[in-house]
Every structure is written in C-alpha cells, then in structure tokens.
Structure 1
Amino acid sequence: MDNFKIIYKILSTLEKSMDLEQCNSDSISPNVLKISKERWNKYIEMLLDADYIKGVRIRKFITGETDIDVEDIRITLKGLEYLSENSIMQKMYKTAKGITDLIP
C-alpha cells in the first residue's frame, strides 16, 4: 500500500472516531493496515512530529526498540486540515475501498 494512502487511512479513522469517547486503536494497528510494526511506528512518529495527531507516547530504548502507546491517540486540527486539503486522496481511497468491497 502507498505511504500516503496509509497515512490518510490512519487520519480518516481517527476523524471518524471523534464521536467516540476513545478511539479503538486496533482499527489502525499494523495488522489491520497490513504493514510491518516498524513501518507503523515510523508513520505514527511522523504524524506526531507533523502535529497531525496527539495523545501518543513514544519511548525509545538503548536496545534500539521503540514502544509507542496510542491509547489516547486523537486527530488534531492540523490533521483535519490535511484530510480536507487532500480531496484527491479521499476520492482515491473511496474508489479503492469500493473495489475491495466488491472483491471477495
């Protein structure tokens, strides 16, 4: 899957979860997104650095391991603006989702 499609999917999932008391972090897990844990960690870190999300705690260990806690993850105003400004990506996502819904 394309990098920007995954980023868009993460942000759109967080936007949809705004009506909930807390986001179900399983809905944006590496398994659901079909990417490696390492790639997922990097996406979350980039989104946090760009101020598109907040409520994430990142711990890096001497061993090189990274632990990311997304228990309180939520989208920011800047993240909402990204979604709004990327209407082309939104159209591509809807088309791709429609195709995957048709394929068994």
Structure 2
Amino acid sequence: MDNFKVIYKILSVLEKSMDLEQCNPESISAETLRISQERWNKYIEMLSDAGYIKGVQIKKFVTGATSLDIRNISITLKGLEYLSENTIMQRMYKTAKGIAELVP
C-alpha cells in the first residue's frame, strides 16, 4: 500500500473516532492496515512528530526497538487540516482526470 494512502487511512479513522470516547487501536493496527509493525511504528512516530496526532507515548530502547502506546491517540487540528486538503486535492485530481479523458 502507498505510504500516503496508509497515512490518510490512519488519520481518517482517527477523525471518524472523534464521536467516540476513545479510538479502537485495532482499527489502525499494522495488521488491519496490512503493513509491517516496523513501518506502522514509523508512521505513528512521524504523524506524532509532525503534529497530526497526539496522545502517543513512544519508548525507544537501547536495542533499537520501539514501543508505542496509542491508547489515548487522537487527531489534532493539523491532522484535520491535512485530511481536508488531501480530500480537496483528490477531488481536483479526479475532475482533471475526467476532463483529460473527454478531451482528445
């Protein structure tokens, strides 16, 4: 799966979980997204570092291993803005693609 599709999926699930008391961590797990645990760890860490999500506790060990606690994960305003901008871009891309198919 494309990197940005996975990131978009994670943020979309977190946005939809805003109506719930807490996000179900299984809904954004590595297994659910069909990616490796290492890749998933890196996505969550990047999203947290970029300010798109909050409530993540990251522990790095001397061995190089990383442990993430996402029990309190949630999307931030910046994450909502990312989703909004990318939804608009996707619509524009689909429209442009449709126009290109009509024009000889």
Q: Is the structural similarity TM-score above 0.5? A: yes
What TM-score do the two structures reach when normalised by structure 1? 0.85
Cα distance change on mapping 1:9 and 1:65 into 2, 3 Å: same
Alignment pair present for 1:43 and 2:53: no
Structure 2 unmatched runs, 5+: 94-104
**Structure 2 equivalent of residue 74 of structure 1:** 74
Give, in whole Å, the separation in 1 of the partners of 2:32 and 2:92.
21
> Which structure has the greater CA radius of gyration?
2
What TM-score do the two structures reach when normalised by structure 2? 0.85
Q: Displacement, 1:89? A: 4.2
Let me know the Cα RMSD of the aligned residues: 1.6
**Structure 2 equivalent of residue 16 of structure 1:** 16
In the TM superposition, structure 1's runs of 4+ consecutive aligned residues that sit over 2 Å from their partners are 88-92
Q: Displacement, 1:90? A: 7.3
Structure 1 unmatched runs, 5+: 93-104
Q: Displacement, 1:23? A: 0.3
Task: Specify the SS of the correspondent of 1:71.
Answer: coil
Task: Specify the SS of the correspondent of 1:68.
Answer: strand
Identity over aligned pairs, percent: 71
Cα distance change on mapping 1:58 and 1:89 into 2, 3 Å: farther
Q: Displacement, 1:91? A: 8.7
**Structure 2 equivalent of residue 100 of structure 1:** none
**Structure 2 equivalent of residue 97 of structure 1:** none
Cα distance change on mapping 1:90 and 1:71 into 2, 3 Å: farther
Cα distance change on mapping 1:27 and 1:11 into 2, 3 Å: same
Amino acid across the alignment from 1:58: I
